[in-house]
Structures are given as structure tokens and as C-alpha cells.
Structure 1
Amino acid sequence: MSRAQVLATADRVAAPHIVVAIMGDGSLWTHEADWTAALRGLIQTYLGDDRRAGTRGTYADPGCSYEDDLAESAFRDVTEHRFPVARAWTPEEVLGYLRTTSFARPALFAGRHHEFEAESLRLLKDHARGGVLKENAVFTVLLARRRGGNG
């Protein structure tokens, strides 16, 4: 989606006191841990180096941050809130999560998905400590208002 276009539309149609919230904590593709790096490498051996995105394409870095997008919009008054999140995944939960992503959904594997999942499960079990894979992330919430806005 065009971030600038979404923000321009929000400015045009939303009440004066609207607050725009942009939030997230990345994904296992972007998380930096030994096990996520190994898993990302395995995905790339099957699908190539480019990260898949959407239903047909690859991920294209937007080139600027959400903060930059907001600074160029009507919603320039930004506050950031950061919340540490510690997750414990089982290898099977990671496989379930991967099935829901655009970068490792089953259809991408052209009939090799079962092979990929079996290899992933072995890899994840090798990295798990006590059957658990740790993910320490930060969930970031950007709240943006129009300058001088109430809310």
C-alpha cells in the first residue's frame, strides 16, 4: 500500500481529533536470533534470497521509516511507546505461524512444502532449549495526531 496515500486519505475523511496508530514488532523473518537466522536461511534455500510478500511478489524495502512517513503527513505530532515482549515458541508453533505468512506460505514451495516442514522441524528442534525457542522483541506503537489536535 502507499503509506502517503493512506495518510492523506485519513486526513481527508477522519474527524479532526483522530489518532493514527501504527504498531508492530516485526516478524520471525526480521527477528535476530540464531534459530531465526537458520530458519530464514532454510527458507531461502527453497525459495531464493528475496523475501516473498503478498500473493505474487517479493518484499521491497519502503526506503523510509514510518516516522518519516508521518513527518511528511498531516499527522506530525508523534509519540512512541515501546513494550518488550518475550515469546516462547515450540517448533510446531513456529511451523503453524509460517503457514500464515506471505514469506513461507505452503503454496510457495511448489509441491515441496512437506519436505520443507520436515527439514524446518528438525532445524527448530535442534535450536530449541528444553523444547522452547525464545523470541525477545519490542512491540512499538506510534500514535500520531495532527499538530494542535486534541485526542
Structure 2
Amino acid sequence: MTSEGLFAGTSAFYARFRPGYPKAFFDDLIHRFSLDGTGRLLDLGCGTGQLTIPLAGHVEQAIGMDPDPDMLTEAAALSEAGNLTWVHGGSADLPGDLGRFRLVTMGRSFHWMDRTRALEALAGMVEDEGGLVIANDGCLALAYTPWRHVVEDVQKRFLGPLPARSGTVREPHEAVLARSRFRDVTRLVHEYERTWTVDQIIGYLYSTSLPLRRLLADRRPAFEQALTDALLATTPDSHFTEPVTLEVLTAHP
């Protein structure tokens, strides 16, 4: 998931430290959309392929599309599957000449788009028996745990009050979908736990739209040491558990 410019310089961290999705999530999509090795997939705002690559083996052709060319370079390096194509562009470039698809996925990306405009474009690109999948999880976004409060506290100590998070939407995705061709919506929630190490937490922080590495500049080593010390003071075994709620919207014409 990316939006042009917002993730500049983060692609290597995005590829290495952005968490994937659970097996139950993929199993449900494969069953729900009859992904039997036929059909075409478009992963819109694909980032470095966290959705595209696992699903590519279940379709005839998979296309990952993203406005950040560095993300696509990283994605291409992660998979050599012959049925994968990486396309530079975003939702504003649709429909283009991409053709029609059984499934369009948007993982942690729909909120970055002009959602109404994207759905209007996709209306002519999704097969009658196909549909959309919009998947979002918190991914360290909320301070549910004491160690997550520590992360926020150290960031504020080095940066002051953090900038407002961009990409926040007020109107629920379901309401936007209800005005589109994709009115038949099912909501499914996967709840599970994700475990992080200190290095993974720092790497993830460098993968977000907040340009943390640039803002820290030459204070990065001090920030990393302060965060490491503070985290280990709360959880000495260095394994940090995050409760995850993955919300999945599947929408059909």
C-alpha cells in the first residue's frame, strides 16, 4: 500500500518489516472467489507485494500496481513467478488498458485513494462474478499494550508532538461501497496475535508514511538506542505481542 511521495525512501524497510497476512485470510479469499489457478488478480496499492505474491499462485495472472516505483523494484526482487507483472501507477490511472479481473485486492491502501473515483473506475474492470477485497489492520497504529505506549513516548521525546496521521478517513468504507456498483458487502474479522522483536519494531517504524528517518537525521542511532532500552525495560525477553484485528470487506457487484 502506498501513495506517491508519502512512502519515499521506505521501500527497503517496507519489504522487510511490513507484516504479512494470516493463512486463514488467504484460505477464505481462495475459497470465496474460487481462485483455482484461473482468472486474473489486480492488487491495487500493492506496496512490496504482501498480498500479490501469496495470491499469484492461485490465479492465471497477477498484477501488482503501486505509485512508488521503488516499492515495485523491491516487490519484483521478492518473487520470480512468471505470472506476476508489476505496474507503476495508482487508482487515478485506472482503468487504463489493464483489462478485466476476477479479483481486485487493496491491502492497507484504500484509505489513501479517492475512494469514490476508484470504485467508479473499477466498476468496469471487475467481472460480473468477481469482486473486491479491502483489508486493513491496526499494525502498531494504536497503543493497546504498555510496550506500544513506550514506542509513542520515545517518538514524542525525539520529535515532539507527532504530525496528524495522513490517510485517515471519516466515512466508513462500507458507506462508500454502498453508493457504488459494489453494494453486496460482507465484513469478516480475523483476530490473532503478532509478535515483534525490537529490530522489527524499529524497521516497521521506518516503513510508514511518517518520514521518521528523515526527521531524526543524525539522531537515528540515539533514537534506536533509547527505544531499545525503553522496550527491554518493559519486556525483558525481547518478544512483544500485539493483538491484531484484521478487518476484511469483500464486495461484489
Considering the TM-score relative to the shorter chain, is it more than 0.5?
yes
| 1:16 has 2:123 as partner | no
| Contact 2:139–2:244 (Cα < 8 Å) also in 1 | no
For residues 245 and 193 of structure 2, the distance between their equivalents in structure 1, rounded to whole angstroms, comes to: 8
Aligned to 1:92: 199
Deviates more, 1:1-10 or 1:125-134: 125-134
Structure 2, gaps ≥5 residues long: 1-112
Out of 37, 41, 47, which is 2:153 matched to?
Answer: 41
| Matched ranges for 1:2-151 at <5 A | 2-51=114-163, 58-103=165-210, 105-146=212-253
Identity of aligned residues (%): 26
Local SS of the residue matching 1:83 = strand
Of stretches 100-109 and 15-24 in structure 1, the one that deviates more from structure 2 is: 100-109
Higher relative contact order (CA 8 A, sep 6+): 1
Structure 1 residues 112 and 124: alpha-carbon distance in aligned structure 2, compared to 1, 3 A threshold: same
Residues 43, 104 of structure 1: 8 Å contact kept = no
TM-score, with normalisation over the residues of structure 2?
0.51
Q: CA deviation at 1:23?
A: 0.4
Structure 1 ranges of 4+ moved more than 3 A = none
Q: Mark the CA change 1:37 to 1:16 in structure 2 (over 3 Å): closer, same or farther.
A: same
Q: CA RMSD in A?
A: 2.0
Change (3 A) 1:18 1:88: same
Structure-2 residue corresponding to 1:149: none
How many residues are paired up? 141
Moved more, 135-144 or 22-31: 22-31
Tell me how far apart the structure 1 counterparts of residues 228 and 127 of structure 2 sit (CA, whole Å).
Answer: 49
Other structure's SS at 1:27 match: coil
Change in CA separation of 1:12 and 1:95 when aligned onto 2, cut-off 3 Å: same
Q: String of CA shifts for 1:120-146, please: whole Å, max 9, x gaps.
A: 111111122522111011112110111
Indicate the SS of the match to 2:133: strand
The residue identity in structure 2 corresponding to 1:21 is V
Aligned to 1:88, the other structure's residue is in SS state strand
Amino acid at match of 2:118: V
Q: Distance in 2 between matches of 1:6 and 1:45?
A: 39
Deviations 1:88-110 (A, max 9, x none): 21222211222222226412213
Q: Give yes or no for contact 1:86–1:135 (8 Å, CA) kept in 2.
A: yes
TM-score (norm 1): 0.81
User: 1:60 deviation in Å?
Assistant: 4.9
Change (3 A) 1:72 1:129: farther
Instruction: Look up the equivalent residue of 2:249 and give its one-letter code.
Output: L
